[in-house]
């Protein structure tokens, strides 16, 4: 059944309508075949699929017909697209996955489709729906604040730089082709549309600049649209926003790849560079170090840089799979626990296990099943820590973590909109007067109501200091103060 068998498009068709018993079946290409896909009506254009099969989740703008379908407990995104593009995108997404780059996960392609009359239909590319992801309009519809925009820009810049580091030229950077997930106080960005991408061994400066030029044009248009729709208000200015993206990209790229030269007496600068990259969330897997003949000058350049420094460390210690900034926050809490409980000299892995049992798990146990679709566990933990901090400030006492978790669930989590695939979010699409029934982020027809209020976002905005995540100048200054 999954033997890559199928009809070549030139082969005459013997029987109609198509059934699994005759030779007229579509062809499934997948690394992980899934028999639950068989009963779907592949002989019907995606646009005309019965709504009972579809799931309404927010999504960005698209050229192709894109629908979300539920397959068992999973939700897949289905995109109808011509064959060579479907294959190209499928392979690129597989490559990106192998290279550990944030992108949606490919599931398979259904090709050689024909309708009931035997006319060919375009293949469908399936990707796994990225859980807890937010298309940009879901973020902007809440009336976006300057700090949020700044954090979204940082996430985009990191994504573009990470793709460039692995030799991926995107060719179509745009807001609709990026998904965001919460990452502690920041966001993490994922690639969702690889159709125009190319993988090279390494990108030349010219290729990177070309990609940035496309990004600039597309994003400028996207931000102008948002502005025209009243979603981006003063003091945001589309031109300034895109300039910021390009400037931050160049700063980050420079820090990641620059050649540095210094006298042989300043060997500490190698470690300093590594620390700075770690602070930006990157690991140096290989550093090129050269000395001149008399060892008076040293030249260093990071050769292999991987993102996810803290994420990998947390994963190693606890098995928790998180975003980078969530990992930083959890590791900080783990350190606090370690020193606070007098275990500074105990093996780190042992302490990490105890922290999981005594701190992390008890917090998660406070979250009722029905509220779990609102945030990822690591994000909940991060928000509980913040909640505890504010409460402690207000009440001038230290708050036990479980008490904070209870308060957070009651005061914050209950009121938050769903961001994942809760059973509530999975209600089949019905004709309730949505502007577009397959894209609830567009709201209801004649809907004059304000978008849902997200109390967490609002509270976080009041207190968040200027994001230092990508402030390379500040990192350099701090390092310089440390090693004068
Ligand atoms: N795997 C996925 N998870 C979450 N959202 C997705 C996924 N695939 C597609 N989408 C949503 O559908 C939209 C359109 O998909 P995309 O691949 O960009 O189509 P197109 O090639 O037509 O532009 C995206 O902006 C995104 O919001
Ligand atoms: Mg797209």
Assigned domain for 34 exists: yes
pLDDT at 12: 35
Q: Among the listed ranges 95-104, 164-173, 209-218, 428-437, which one has the minimum average pLDDT value?
A: 428-437
Ligand (nearest to CA of 66): 1
pLDDT at 421: 53
* Residue, of 484 and 8, whose pLDDT is higher: 484
Q: Measured in angstroms, how far is the CA atom of residue 120 from the centroid of ligand 1?
A: 24
Query: How confident is the model over 364-386, as a mean pLDDT?
Result: 93
Q: Which of 60, 137, 138 to mutate to test the pocket of ligand 1 (most atoms within 8 A of CB)?
A: 60
pLDDT at 233: 75
Closest atom, ligand 1, to C-alpha of 133: 4
pLDDT at 433: 55
Measured by CA distance, the residue closest to atom 15 of ligand 1 is 62
**Residue 271 predicted with pLDDT over 60:** yes
Measured by CA distance, the residue closest to atom 13 of ligand 1 is 60
Could you say which of 307, 342, 371 is where a domain stops?
Answer: 307
Residues 314 and 385 grouped into a single domain: yes
Assigned domain for 460 exists: no
Residues 230 and 157 grouped into a single domain: yes
Residues 188 and 243 grouped into a single domain: yes
Residues 423 and 398 grouped into a single domain: no
Measured by CA distance, the residue closest to atom 20 of ligand 1 is 62
Measured by CA distance, the residue closest to atom 27 of ligand 1 is 59
Closest atom, ligand 1, to C-alpha of 58: 27
Ligand (nearest to CA of 85): 1
Measured by CA distance, the residue closest to atom 19 of ligand 1 is 62
Assigned domain for 456 exists: no
Measured by CA distance, the residue closest to atom 8 of ligand 1 is 77
The listed range with the strongest mean pLDDT (85-99, 228-242, 408-422, 429-443) is: 85-99
Q: Measured in angstroms, how far is the CA atom of residue 62 from the centroid of ligand 1?
A: 7
pLDDT at 234: 74
Q: Measured in angstroms, how far is the CA atom of residue 179 from the centroid of ligand 1?
A: 8
Ligand (nearest to CA of 64): 1
* Residue, of 124 and 57, whose pLDDT is higher: 124
Structural domain tally of the chain? Answer: 4
pLDDT at 107: 95
Nearest to 407 by CA among 428, 386, 434: 386
**Residue 455 predicted with pLDDT over 70:** no
Could you say which of 416, 435, 456 is where a domain stops?
Answer: 416
Assigned domain for 174 exists: yes
**Residue 205 predicted with pLDDT over 60:** yes
pLDDT, tens digit, 9 for 90 and up, residues 279-335:
888 988 888 988 877 778 889 999 888 888 999 999 999 999 999 999 999 999 999
Could you say which of 376, 399, 416 is where a domain stops?
Answer: 416
Ligand (nearest to CA of 133): 1
Q: Which of 128, 193, 441 to mutate to test the pocket of ligand 1 (most atoms within 8 A of CB)?
A: 193
Residues 53 and 76 grouped into a single domain: yes
Assigned domain for 214 exists: yes
Q: Measured in angstroms, how far is the CA atom of residue 108 from the centroid of ligand 1?
A: 15
Q: Among the listed ranges 56-65, 139-148, 260-269, which one has the minimum average pLDDT value?
A: 139-148
pLDDT at 31: 81
Measured by CA distance, the residue closest to atom 12 of ligand 1 is 59
Ligand (nearest to CA of 178): 1
Ligand (nearest to CA of 135): 1
Q: Among the listed ranges 122-136, 388-402, 423-437, which one has the minimum average pLDDT value?
A: 423-437
Measured by CA distance, the residue closest to atom 2 of ligand 1 is 129
Question: Which residues span the domain enclosing 352?
Answer: 308-416
pTM: 0.80
Residues with CB under 6 A from ligand 1: 59-60, 62-64, 66, 77, 79, 104, 127-130, 133, 135, 176-177, 179, 192-193, 195
Closest atom, ligand 1, to C-alpha of 104: 1
Closest atom, ligand 1, to C-alpha of 178: 25
Residues 125 and 11 grouped into a single domain: yes
Residues 33 and 107 grouped into a single domain: yes
Closest atom, ligand 1, to C-alpha of 135: 27
Assigned domain for 481 exists: no
Assigned domain for 452 exists: no
Residues 180 and 246 grouped into a single domain: yes
Q: Domain containing 141 — which CATH number?
A: 1.10.510.10
Residues 13 and 93 grouped into a single domain: yes
Q: Measured in angstroms, how far is the CA atom of residue 182 from the centroid of ligand 1?
A: 18
Closest atom, ligand 1, to C-alpha of 128: 1
Assigned domain for 458 exists: no
Residues 364 and 326 grouped into a single domain: yes
Residues 253 and 296 grouped into a single domain: no
Q: Which of 56, 57, 59, 88 to mutate to test the pocket of ligand 1 (most atoms within 8 A of CB)?
A: 59
* Residue, of 25 and 448, whose pLDDT is higher: 25
Residues 56 and 93 grouped into a single domain: yes
Q: Measured in angstroms, how far is the CA atom of residue 55 from the centroid of ligand 1?
A: 14
- Rg (the chain; Cα; Å): 25
How far is 82 from 124, CA to CA, in rounded Å? Answer: 8
Closest atom, ligand 1, to C-alpha of 130: 3
């Amino acid at each position: 059944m999954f033997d890559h068998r199928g009809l070549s498009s030139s082969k005459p068709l013997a029987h109609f309508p198509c059934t699994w018993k005759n030779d007229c079946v579509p062809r499934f290409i997948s690394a992980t075949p899934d028999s639950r896909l068989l009963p779907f009506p592949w002989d019907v254009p995606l646009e005309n699929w019965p709504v009972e099969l579809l799931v309404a989740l927010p999504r960005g703008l698209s050229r192709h017909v894109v629908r979300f379908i539920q397959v068992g407990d999973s939700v897949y995104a289905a995109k109808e697209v011509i064959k060579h593009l479907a294959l190209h995108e499928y392979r690129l997404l597989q490559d990106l996955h192998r290279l550990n780059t944030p992108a949606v996960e490919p599931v398979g392609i259904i090709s050689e489709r024909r309708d009931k009359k035997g006319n060919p239909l375009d293949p469908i590319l399936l990707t796994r729906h990225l859980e807890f992801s937010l298309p940009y309009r879901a973020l902007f519809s809440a009336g976006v604040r300057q700090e949020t925009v700044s954090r979204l820009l940082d996430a985009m810049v990191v994504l573009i730089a990470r793709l460039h580091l692995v030799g991926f030229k995107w060719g179509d950077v745009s807001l609709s082709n990026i998904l965001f997930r919460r990452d502690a106080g920041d966001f993490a960005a994922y690639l969702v549309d690889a159709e125009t991408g190319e993988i090279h061994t390494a990108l030349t400066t010219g290729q990177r600049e070309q990609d940035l030029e496309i990004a600039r044009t597309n994003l400028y248009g996207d931000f102008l649209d948002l502005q025209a729709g009243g979603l981006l208000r003063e003091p945001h200015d589309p031109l300034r926003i895109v300039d910021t993206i390009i400037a931050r990209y160049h700063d980050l790229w420079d820090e990641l790849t620059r050649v540095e030269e210094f006298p042989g007496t300043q060997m500490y600068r190698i470690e300093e560079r590594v620390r700075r990259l770690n602070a930006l969330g990157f690991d140096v897997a290989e550093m090129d170090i050269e000395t001149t003949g008399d060892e008076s000058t040293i030249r260093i350049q990071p050769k292999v840089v991987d993102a996810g420094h803290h994420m990998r460390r947390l994963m190693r210690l606890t098995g928790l799979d998180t975003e980078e900034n969530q990992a930083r926050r959890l590791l900080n809490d783990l350190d606090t626990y370690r020193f606070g409980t007098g275990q500074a000299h105990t093996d780190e892995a042992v302490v990490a296990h105890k922290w999981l049992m005594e701190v992390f798990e008890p917090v998660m146990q406070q979250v009722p099943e029905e509220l779990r679709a609102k945030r990822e566990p690591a994000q909940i933990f991060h928000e509980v820590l913040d909640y505890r901090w504010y409460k402690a400030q207000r009440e001038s006492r230290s708050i036990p973590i479980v008490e904070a978790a209870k308060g957070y669930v009651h005061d914050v989590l209950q009121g938050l909109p769903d961001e994942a695939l809760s059973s509530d979010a999975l209600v089949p699409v019905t004709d309730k007067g949505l502007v577009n029934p397959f894209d609830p982020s567009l709201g209801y027809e004649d809907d004059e109501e304000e978008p849902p209020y997200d109390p967490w976002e609002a509270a976080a905005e009041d207190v968040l200091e200027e994001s230092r995540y990508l402030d390379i100048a500040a990192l350099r200054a701090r390092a310089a103060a440390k090693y004068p």
